[in-house]
Amino acid sequence: MPSYKAPVDDFKFILNDFLKVLDHSDLPGFDALDSELIDQILEGGAKFFEEVWAPLNLPGDEQGCTLENGIVHTPDGFKDAFHQAAEGGWNALSVPEAFGGAGLPGILSSCISEMGNSANQSLAMYGGLTGAAMMSLMYLGTDFQKKVIVPKLVSGEWTGTMNLTEPHCGTDLKLMNTKAVPQEDGTYRISGTKIFISGGDHDMTDNIIHMVIAKIPNSEGKLENNLGTVNFFMVPKFLVNEDGTPGARNGVTVGSIEKKMGIKGNATCVLNYDNAVAFKVPEDKPEAANEQSGEKKSSASGMAGMFLMMNGARMGVGMQGYALAEVACQNATIYANDRLQGRSLSGPKNPDGPADPIIVYPDVRRMLMMARSFAEGARALHMWLSFTGATAVKLETQEEKTAVGEITNLLTPVIKGYLTDMGFTSTNAAMQCFGGHGFIREHGMEQFVRDSRINQIYEGANGVQALDLVGRKLFANGMVGTNAYYGLIDKEIADAKDQNGLKGMSESLATGLSHLRAATSWVAENALQDREQAGAASYDFMTMFGTVSLGFMWLKMMAVAQSQLDAGAGNAEFLKRKIAHGNFWAQKMLPDTASLLEKIKTGGDVLMELEASSF
| Measured distance CA(491)–CA(556) in Å, rounded | 11
All residues at 6 or more sequence positions from 240 whose CB lies less than 8 Å from its CB, including other chains? 148, 149, 207, 246, 247
Please report, for residues 15, 158, 194, 210, 248, the alpha-carbon distance to residue 252 in angstroms, rounded to integers and kept in the order given.
43, 16, 10, 9, 12
Would you call the peptide bond into 591 cis, given omega within 30 degrees of 0 as the criterion? no
Catalytic residue among 459, 525, 609, 611: 459
All residues at 6 or more sequence positions from 245 whose CB lies less than 8 Å from its CB, including other chains? none
Distance of CA 559 to the CA centre of its chain: 27
Would you call the peptide bond into 236 cis, given omega within 30 degrees of 0 as the criterion? no
Residue type for position 451 = D
| Measured distance CA(556)–CA(577) in Å, rounded | 15
Element (H, E) at 130: helix 106-140
| Three-state DSSP class for residue 199 | coil
Task: Identify any residues that bridge with 231 across adjacent strands, giving them in sequence order.
Answer: 214
Please report, for residues 28, 39, 109, 388, 603, the alpha-carbon distance to residue 34 in angstroms, rounded to integers and kept in the order given.
14, 9, 16, 19, 52
Evaluated on CA atoms 512, 518, 521, 525, the torsion sign reads negative
Q: Answer for the pair 78, 267: CB distance below 8 angstroms, yes or no.
A: no
Distance of CA 605 to the CA centre of its chain: 33
Rounded (5°) CA angle 54-334-374: 80
| Measured distance CA(260)–CA(267) in Å, rounded | 10
State the angle between helix axes of 503-527 and 572-584 in degrees (0 to 180), rounded to the nearest 10: 40
What's the farthest any 2 CA atoms get from each other in the chain?
A: 90
| Measured distance CA(418)–CA(539) in Å, rounded | 9
Q: Answer for the pair 383, 13: CB distance below 8 angstroms, yes or no.
A: no
Q: Answer for the pair 272, 253: CB distance below 8 angstroms, yes or no.
A: yes
Which has the closest alpha carbon to 131: 303, 313, 304? 313
Bridge-based pairing state of the strands 268-280 and 188-198: antiparallel
Per-residue DSSP letter, 610: S
All residues at 6 or more sequence positions from 346 whose CB lies less than 8 Å from its CB, including other chains? none
Task: Identify any residues that bridge with 179 across adjacent strands, giving them in sequence order.
Answer: 191, 215
Residue type for position 434 = F
- Indicate if 492 belongs to the active site: no
Report the catalytic residues: 459
